[in-house]
């Protein structure tokens, strides 16, 4: 996963939500959320690639699991992006940020087990990034973002469990 700033920019309108958070804290939190958003987008794309390319005796089960997971990720992307906006910042849209894939590529010829393990590892990295961001949000007293990220951590941990439960031993 990437670890740089997402180059966020503040919203210049007057309709920014007054959160009670310090402007510098809102910016730090928005940057962290932008990184979480980028990771989530990348994971969504990789999950769809596995969904389309997996070949296995358990094809239908894996196909349905990955469809459920990419739909969940799609919903999460919207929630994360809206929180960035509520903090008073634009959602990053520059090429090389949200839309660029991060980490290891999915090999469409890989075994089902290898594909599932790759996704599980990416979910672990996403959960770790979300955990770090949640700790920062809590320290800055942004409990809304903390709760959002806690929910994301739970979703990633459940996905890891489900993916690894499908891996043949």
Residue written as tokens 């992006």? Answer: 81
Distances in Å between the alpha carbon of 137 and those of 68, 90, 121, 124?
29, 18, 24, 20
pLDDT digits (tens, 9 = 90+) for 42-83: 999 999 999 999 999 999 999 999 999 999 999 999 999 999
- Helix and strand numbers (H, E) in the chain are 4, 0
Residue 110 DSSP class: S
121 CB-near residues (< 8 Å, 6+ apart): none
- Domains plus CATH for the chain? 23-165 (1.20.1260.10)
The whole-number pLDDT of residue 15 equals 59
Bridge partners of 89, per DSSP, are 10
CA–CA dist 24, 117 (Å, integer): 38
The whole-number pLDDT of residue 12 equals 61
Of the candidates 155, 154, 135, 160, the one whose C-alpha atom is nearest the C-alpha of residue 145 is 135
Which of the four pLDDT bands, split at 50, 70 and 90, describes residue 98?
Answer: very low
Which of the four pLDDT bands, split at 50, 70 and 90, describes residue 1?
Answer: very low
pLDDT digits (tens, 9 = 90+) for 118-159: 999 999 999 999 999 999 999 999 999 999 999 999 999 999
Is the confidence at residue 5, as pLDDT, over 60? Answer: no
CA angle 162, 168, 169 (to 5 degrees): 115
- CA–centroid distance for 11 within its chain: 23
């Amino acid at each position: 996963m990437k670890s740089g700033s997402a180059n966020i920019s503040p919203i210049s309108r007057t309709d920014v939500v007054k959160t009670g958070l310090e402007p510098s804290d809102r910016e730090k939190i928005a940057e962290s959320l932008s990184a979480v958003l980028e990771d989530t987008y990348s994971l969504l794309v990789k999950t769809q690639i596995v969904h389309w390319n997996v070949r296995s005796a358990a094809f239908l089960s894996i196909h349905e699991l990955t469809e459920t997971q990419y739909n969940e990720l799609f919903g999460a992307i919207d929630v994360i992006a809206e929180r960035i906006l509520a903090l008073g910042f634009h959602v990053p849209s520059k090429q090389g940020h949200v839309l660029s894939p991060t980490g290891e590529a999915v090999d469409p010829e890989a075994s089902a087990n290898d594909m599932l393990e790759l996704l599980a590892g990416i979910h672990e990295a996403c959960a770790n990034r979300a955990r770090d961001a949640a700790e920062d949000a809590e320290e800055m007293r942004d409990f809304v973002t903390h709760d959002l990220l806690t929910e994301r951590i739970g979703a990633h941990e459940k996905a890891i469990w489900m993916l690894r439960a499908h891996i043949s031993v």
